[in-house]
């Protein structure tokens, strides 16, 4: 799944993980930091389906299990991405993680992340209210 993050003025965001963290922190209002640019960041993902072509999505929400300090300490940054299909408007969920490689650099995880129950509950509770309601999840985002 190729992915990329740009602002409305075309600046490529430093890293997709940085864009994900900004969206997790600031929601869809996450801003570009390039040379005084303050345009909104858009994080895009293209998914290829076997024998069915592909779809392009925009990341609308990100819920992280760990904050920046925990992620650094554990070298593990699992999260739940809410992707909106650019054509149909349908929302889909994608579990994802970054991990530190041997050079202590963030690297895309190769397998779906594992969550303990409390971590997964935190992800679900962090979803926007309309999606929580669609899933029948009670409880509020802290």
Instruction: Report the interface residues with Zn ion, using CB under 5 A.
Output: 7, 9, 11, 32, 34, 37, 39
Q: Please, which residue, 10 or 112, has the CB nearer to Zn ion?
A: 10
Shortest approach of Zn ion to residue 32 CB, angstroms?
3
Cβ neighbours for 36, distance < 8 A, ≥ 6 positions apart: none
Shortest approach of Zn ion to residue 7 CB, angstroms?
3
Shortest approach of Zn ion to residue 73 CB, angstroms?
31
Shortest approach of Zn ion to residue 26 CB, angstroms?
14
Q: Please, which residue, 13 or 96, has the CB nearer to Zn ion?
A: 13
Q: Please, which residue, 35 or 88, has the CB nearer to Zn ion?
A: 35
**Other Cβ atoms closer than 10 A to 105:** 8
Q: Please, which residue, 39 or 131, has the CB nearer to Zn ion?
A: 39
């Amino acid at each position: 799944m190729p992915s990329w993050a740009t602002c409305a003025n075309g600046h490529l965001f430093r890293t997709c993980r940085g864009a994900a963290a900004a969206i997790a922190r600031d929601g869809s209002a996450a801003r570009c930091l390039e040379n005084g640019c303050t345009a909104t960041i858009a994080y895009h993902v293209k998914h290829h389906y076997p024998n069915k072509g592909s779809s392009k999505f925009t990341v609308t929400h990100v819920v992280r299990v760990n904050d920046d300090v925990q992620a650094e300490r554990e070298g593990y940054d699992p999260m739940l991405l809410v992707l909106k299909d650019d054509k149909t408007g349908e929302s889909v969920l994608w579990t994802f993680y970054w991990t530190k490689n041997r050079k202590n650099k963030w690297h895309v995880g190769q397998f779906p992340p594992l969550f303990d129950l409390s971590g997964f509950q935190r992800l679900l509770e962090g979803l926007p209210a309309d999606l929580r309601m669609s899933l029948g999840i009670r409880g509020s985002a802290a």
